[in-house]
A and B are shown apart, each in its own frame.
Chain A
Amino acid sequence: MAKSKEKLVPVEGGVIPERDAGTPPVLEARHLGIDFGGLTAVDDFNFIIGRTEIGGLIGPNGAGKTTIFNLLTNVYQPTRGKILVGGVDTRGKKTYEVNRMGIARTFQNIRLFKALPVLDNVLIGMQGQMQYRLAGAVLRLPSYWKQEKAAREKALELLSIFGMESLAYTPAGSLPYGAQRRLEIVRALATGPKVLLLDEPAAGMNPSETAELMENIRKIRDTFQIAVVLIEHDMNLVMGICEGIAVLNYGQIIAKGTPEEIRNNPQVIEAYLGRKGGAAGC
């Protein structure tokens, strides 16, 4: 808990937690924007994430948060601006290439491989780390056995973060809702990311599940030393674990800063509660 009080220090392009200041930022968006026909969904989005930062992206419904995730993973190609992953421009890359550069994500509306067992869901995430070719698979060469065994062990280990190793052979679609959300996080982790993008990880969870999730997100960050960016409507979660928060409204950033700064920002309060609502913090 003490760690969340990290100070933000300015670097070129934005602010990141003090402990990450020595290393280059892992993810950076510069003047990012996208138009759908005549509609500008996101405009002039600037954003920078330190190597082990937990960042938050909040804003009212329709503000463009998920669109930004889709831009960061190259599901959409940006109309303006650019995205740097570890300093490398992702322009023109395919989604799977961006994933292999270190960006993994979960989805707001769960997208698991429902008919496949939990373990296979995680193993598919490890696709990029296994090397054996088609011939290796058909002839069952030693490379197949070695890599499959290693991947299987690693997958079970990842599942154990959320205590799900006993569910390894259950079809993913038959898991309860909360477990499906957790499995999505495990699958994303399996791809070996540098940045984990979580799209509403606590949606539909009860307060105790949310508290557990908070602990787990922190644990993941500490053990894997990766950055996490999350979109969330649950303010307890966002204010509890995020070090830097960006607030989005109508596709534009209206405020950036630490949870305290955001909580007291009049523009944010206005975006959430409307004018003249002042006193109630969000």
Chain B
Amino acid sequence: MNQTKGKTIPMPVRYLINTVLIALLVFGSTAYVNGGGVSGYVTKVLMVIGINIILAVSLNVATGYLGQLPLGHAGFMAVGAYTGGIFLKAVNAAEASGAQYLLMVAAALLLSGLVAAVFGIVIGIPALRLRGDYLAIITLGFGEIIRVVLTNIDEVLGFKLTYGASGLKRIPKITSYGNVLVCVVLTCLVIHLVMKSRHGRAILAIRENEIAAESCGVRTTYYKVMAFTLSAFFAGVAGCLYAGYLGSLQPTTFGFMKSIEILVMVVLGGMGSMLGSILSAITLTALPEVLRAFEDYRMVAYSLVLVLVMIFKPTGLMGQYDFSMSRILERVWGFFDRSKRKEG
């Protein structure tokens, strides 16, 4: 089985190494940020980066892995954001503390994800009968419907919930660097674990050749809806974090341009590469901030980066390459092994 050169690291050790590294990253950087290592402004940028990573990585499931082109990702984000916002207001998360507070935050995130996932199923079943540009248009329509509904409805059955065009305000600000990072890690982990299983293989098979997948016994409709729902779930989680970050929500935030912004991150990073999505989410969020000094030109630079990448690397920065810590360790290991043998 060992076709790769040199040693392969056994499974349990791989998991151990990865767990330790992730734990170090989470605790180390959270302690650093919370300890005042960076300014409040940088912390805020980091939180936005985290939210964008979740959005890009989740959209990548539908575009990169499933191979469809949905344009309504901001719609799912809006559903998650409003669900999270209303829930947090309702349970008065701002006044809770300790374990109760943590529980509320976790419940809000989960609930936002689930409600968005339900929307994913409801939209996915009819939409995924179409493909290509038709799917793009129907999902675009869905995103717009969400936005318009949120703008025009301010009360449901007499309860003031979404406050329509004036926006949902005074949402408890639950989002911190720590919980954004945990969500990012969990999102990437869950998507990775799904993709490296029979379910993930089925999703990839649909992207590669739908007819062949179907005649290999893959339930194509089921897996399309599953991938779409998974994508919607994490968009909902990101939405909830966004609500807890801003503290107020405007329906106009979740327009068509937001969907495109997320799609650009995925395409720039390379469709089908999680690492690519993460890197381009970081780049495209940080770039406008870094370029703040050149106020007038920053959007020009942003666009220029996109144009240049698409000209010189049309498959995106990473293509379909995915990151594997073990692979790198194995290579380093193999290198040392060889140099040792040469000496001896």
Q: Which residues of A contact B (CB under 8 A)?
A: 73, 75, 94-96, 99-100, 104-105, 107, 111-116, 120, 123-128, 130, 132, 134, 137-138, 140, 144, 147-148, 151-152, 156, 166, 168-169, 187-188, 190-191
Closest to A184 in B: B212
Chain B's interface: helix, strand, loop or mixed, by majority? helix
Nearest Cβ on chain B to A84's Cβ, whole angstroms: 19
Tell me which of A96, A105, A137 contacts B218 (CB under 8 A).
A96
Closest to B202 in A: A127
Report yes or no: B198 in contact with A123, Cβ–Cβ below 8 A: yes
Closest to A124 in B: B205
A138 touching B194 in the complex, CB below 8 Å, given contacts A111-B209, A113-B205: yes
**Interfacial chain A residues near B208, Cβ < 8 Å:** 112-116
Extra inter-chain contacts (5) besides given A140-B193, A190-B216, CB under 8 Å: A107-B212, A115-B204, A116-B205, A148-B197, A156-B1
Report yes or no: B198 in contact with A130, Cβ–Cβ below 8 A: yes
Report yes or no: B197 in contact with A144, Cβ–Cβ below 8 A: yes
Counting chain B CB atoms within 10 Å of each CB, which of A113, A114, A125, A147 scores highest?
A113
Q: Which residues of B contact A (CB under 8 A)?
A: 1, 3-4, 190, 193-194, 197-202, 204-205, 208-209, 211-220, 226, 320
Report yes or no: B190 in contact with A99, Cβ–Cβ below 8 A: no
Nearest Cβ on chain A to B208's Cβ, whole angstroms: 4
Enumerate 20 A-B pairs (CB-CB under 8 Å) in ascending A order. Answer: A75-B211, A96-B219, A96-B220, A99-B214, A99-B216, A107-B212, A113-B209, A116-B201, A123-B201, A124-B201, A124-B213, A127-B218, A134-B226, A137-B200, A138-B193, A138-B194, A144-B197, A156-B1, A168-B3, A191-B216
Report yes or no: A137 in contact with B202, Cβ–Cβ below 8 A: no
A187 to B214, CA, bound (A): 13
Report yes or no: A137 in contact with B1, Cβ–Cβ below 8 A: no
A2 to B188, CA, bound (A): 58
**Interfacial chain B residues near A128, Cβ < 8 Å:** 217
Report yes or no: A137 in contact with B193, Cβ–Cβ below 8 A: yes
Closest to A152 in B: B1
Report yes or no: A99 in contact with B215, Cβ–Cβ below 8 A: yes
**Interfacial chain B residues near A96, Cβ < 8 Å:** 214-220
Report yes or no: B205 in contact with A95, Cβ–Cβ below 8 A: no
Report yes or no: A137 in contact with B197, Cβ–Cβ below 8 A: yes
10 tightest Cβ-Cβ pairs between the two chains A and B: A137-B197, A113-B208, A111-B212, A128-B217, A99-B217, A95-B214, A124-B205, A111-B209, A130-B198, A169-B3
Report yes or no: A115 in contact with B320, Cβ–Cβ below 8 A: yes
